[in-house]
């Protein structure tokens, strides 16, 4: 490892959400998270942090729904995504800055509200699948579909929820400034929740109601800023095949060919481990020398040092 090694750290929801979901509980969870990240920073890595926002943007959407019943105009999903980026970015920025100051480390940290470009012709727009927001009864959901034209589906017996498209990212609009900040050894927090989905029309970017998978947007960002490592943090120490079965097997150093074979065999769950594995493969294939690692938050430092996690290399 040299001082120039650049790592994009993609944090899962467990790195932020904890306890009862209050601001205080979430900030406590973030402080634990960034304590581990600061240990990585101290080793000389150039660090760019991305993060999820599912529970947070869900709460914001619920607040908007309640506000709408009281005559206060609710905000659209893209704006709610921006709200969540600002909130989580502030919490994370504050905790990292505090820890750096406590340890006498002079390094800047900045949070960037980030837009992610998507293709308006992406097939996902004709097949919305990503559940967001509060639960409704079937009658309420039908009424909302008639009123708004949005799509609602029954969600695992818990009620009906709105579903929105989840298109693939084609660009991270702010990647240039993010890359320059990382290259100047500043810590950057960005692309929260996969970034705010936008599409280009007549030289303008227009926000769209969609949710981008944070692992795919983190991969796209890692490519665009020429990172050396994409570190995807989740709730388990490794990628597994036969997960939670008697013949469960942890994957340590694994070839791209084997991973593609395991995908075809259906070993990785949709919406859970599968996008992480797919993002890891894409980054490792994108340029010689790039490495993807999938592991838990607690094993992040060990994984970067080659002592834990699932490592994917070309």
- Active site (catalytic) residues: 13-14, 130, 214, 276
Asked if 194 and 217 touch (Cβ cutoff 8 Å), the reply is: yes
- Of 135, 137, 198, 121, the residue nearest 163 (C-alpha): 135
Task: Kindly state the helix (H) or strand (E) to which residue 116 belongs, with its residue range.
Answer: strand 115-118
Tokens 């007549």 correspond to what residue? 202
Q: Residues 6 or more apart from 172 whose CB is under 8 A from it? A: 114, 115, 116, 117, 178, 190, 191, 195, 217, 220, 221, 224
Whole-number Å distance between alpha carbons of 184 and 243:
41
Q: What is the DSSP string of 28-77?
A: HHHHHHHHHHHHHHHTT-EEEEEE--HHHHHHHHHHHHHHHHTTPPPPPH
The tokens describing 18, both together, are 């904890």
Query: Which residues neighbour 307 within 8 Å (Cβ) at sequence distance 6 or greater?
Result: none
How many other C-beta atoms can be found within 10 angstroms of the C-beta atom of residue 63? 15
The first and second tokens of residue 111, run together, are 């949070």
- Strands 196-201 and 204-207: what pairing? antiparallel
What sign for the dihedral angle of Cα 10, 22, 298, 133? negative
Buried b (16+ CB within 10 A) or exposed e, 267-282: bbeeeebbbbbbbbbb
């Amino acid at each position: 490892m040299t001082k120039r090694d650049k790592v994009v750290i993609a944090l899962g929801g467990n790195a932020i959400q904890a306890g009862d979901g209050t601001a205080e509980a979430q900030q406590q969870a973030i402080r634990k998270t960034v304590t581990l990240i600061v240990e990585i920073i101290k080793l000389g890595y150039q660090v760019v942090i991305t993060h999820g926002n599912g529970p947070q943007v869900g709460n914001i959407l619920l607040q908007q729904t309640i506000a709408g019943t009281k005559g206060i105009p609710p905000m659209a999903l893209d704006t709610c995504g921006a709200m969540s980026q600002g909130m989580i970015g502030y919490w994370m920025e504050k905790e990292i800055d505090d820890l750096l100051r406590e340890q006498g480390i002079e390094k800047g940290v900045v949070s960037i509200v980030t837009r992610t470009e998507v293709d308006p012709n992406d097939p996902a727009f004709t097949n919305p699948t990503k559940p967001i927001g509060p639960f409704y009864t079937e009658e309420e959901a039908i009424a909302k579909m008639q009123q708004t034209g949005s799509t609602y589906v029954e969600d695992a017996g818990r009620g009906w929820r709105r579903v929105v498209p989840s298109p693939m990212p084609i660009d991270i609009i702010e990647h240039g400034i993010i890359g320059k900040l990382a290259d100047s050894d500043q810590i950057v927090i960005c692309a929260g929740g996969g970034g705010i989905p936008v599409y280009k029309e007549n030289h303008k970017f227009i926000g769209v109601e969609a949710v981008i998978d944070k692992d795919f947007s983190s991969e796209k960002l890692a490519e665009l800023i020429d990172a050396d490592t994409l570190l995807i943090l989740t709730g388990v120490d490794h990628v597994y095949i036969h997960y939670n079965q008697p013949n469960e097997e942890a994957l340590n150093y694994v070839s791209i060919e084997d991973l593609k074979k395991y995908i075809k065999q259906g070993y990785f769950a949709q919406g859970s481990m599968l996008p992480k594995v797919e993002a890891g493969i894409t980054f490792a294939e994108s340029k010689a020398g790039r490495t993807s690692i999938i592991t838990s938050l607690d094993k992040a430092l060990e994984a970067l040092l080659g002592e834990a996690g699932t490592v994917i290399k070309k």
